[in-house]
Homo-oligomer: A and B are copies of this chain.
Amino acid sequence: MKKETIDYLMNTVGSDFVITNNGQKLSYMYDEIEHNVRPEVNISSIVVKPLNSNEVAEIVKYANENKIPVVVYGGGTGLCGGVSPIKESIVISMERMNKIIEIDEKNMMAVVEAGVTLAQLIEELEKHDGICFPVHPGDEGAQMGGMVATNAGGARAVRHGIMRNHIKGIEVVLASGEILRLGGKLLKDNSGYNLLQLIMGSEGTLAIITKITLRLYPEDKYTASVVMAFENVSDASNAVLEIIKNGVSPLAVEYQDRYLNVESAELLGLHWPLDKGKADILIILSEKSEEALYNSCEIINDICKKYNANKAVFAGTKKEQGEMLAIRSGSYEVIKDNIAYSFDMAVPAGYMPDFLNDLWELVTSYNTISYITAHLADGNVHNDIYMIDGKNPKYLEELKIKMYQLCFKYEGTLTGEHGIGKLRIKDLILQKSKVEIELMKNIKKAFDPNNILNPGTVIDM
């Protein structure tokens, strides 16, 4: 990076908040993407830590005038390399913009700076009686700005949906360096094109999110978790579809192959309580009354019996519930070091039984395995292609394309929640028509004519 630029940045945010040391810089250049599919970063990039929106605006204005790429680093919990600077860039770390500006109980809204982590928000909300923010992408180190920029999902999307359902306002810095406020604490707003919705999920390529107004909800007082084993994933999936159609609205419905649950439990020093069957689901319930909770459990039990569920283990205490969720979340550790490519496909939920069957057949035809974790009720599947003896298998690209083609056959998408990032940018054309890609490019140009905002992410210009 030019000395002139470094000087400008130091003048703007203070020299303590510009990182030029290579060792320190690197930790701001990668997210949680698997090592072997990491994008190659440009090590001449520089990291800067602004304190507020005005400083972000000054940095971006300068970058735009000098055509220097700008990449935002949030919590670094992403999984598709969105934060990696592949050109010589200014990396803006949001860590100092971590103020919870307001918890507005009257409007049931919170206003936070983009660098506030989910953990921080949850901790703050615990001080207020019985209100919560429902989206939970798993890693509470995620920053709210990143969660908006990537339209984060997570296990609780079953009932509550994804980020875009709950974000009512944002402040952004545009590529020009101008600050723009969109929405606010409004529940309804039909005044013109919804730029807020467009920017959500655009992964830092249309604007830089600096503040967020998010909706809060009354927290359900009664919770329970239940794990159940089915003979196969089709039965599990069909049972879940019927549960939801019958009016039960679970907080989460997580599927996991038995192997992953058993191994994950062992890693955590816990015991997975199911032995019969092969296909395990974890259903998390929360309700306003004990009676409603009991009713939901009863409906679930009846339907699961119909689909030959083997054994149901109910967890009532916080500790038991926490353990089950930890086993589910910990499964990534079981396979992490062995992953060659990681998927985030989603298909319509009703097509899951057939899709997963076909996926199993496809994988078997390559004499390999692909363990499955799925947000079952959302049709969102996480599976992987594994390395062989620490190397990518020869069939990696071929099998990947075949899996995607299978997904599209079931009207699916490349990515349900993780996003395109730099990992899937080359694959997007498999899913989207040329006319859609062209529209996306035109929108990118409308927001960022010099292509400075996170280049190489979502679409190529």
Contacts and interface: CB of A to CB of B under 8 A. Distances in A.
B193 A202 contact: yes
Contacts of A218: 244-247
Interface in A404-461: 411-420, 424, 428, 431-433, 435-436, 439-440, 442-447, 458-459
Nearest to A131: B245
Measured as residues with beta carbon below 8 angstroms from the partner, the interface class of chain A is 35 or more
| Oligomer: number of copies | 2
A109 interface: yes
Interface in A212-256: 218, 220, 241, 244-247
B165 A165 contact: yes
A182 interface: yes
A400 B435 CA distance: 42
Interface stretch (A93-101, A300-308, A342-350): A342-350
Given A194-B197, A194-B200, A439-B195, A348 B186 contact: yes
Given A108-B244, A198-B198, A443-B446, A418 B349 contact: no
Nearest to A196: B197
A170 to B, nearest CB: 12
20 contacts: A106-B241, A107-B349, A130-B247, A162-B188, A180-B436, A180-B439, A185-B351, A188-B416, A191-B415, A193-B198, A193-B440, A193-B443, A194-B198, A194-B200, A195-B439, A218-B245, A220-B247, A288-B292, A288-B295, A445-B446
Interface of A: 104-109, 130-131, 150-151, 153, 157, 161-162, 164-165, 174, 176, 178, 180, 182, 184-195, 197-198, 200-202, 206, 218, 220, 241, 244-247, 288-289, 291-292, 295, 346-351, 375, 377-380, 411-420, 424, 428, 431-433, 435-436, 439-440, 442-447, 458-459
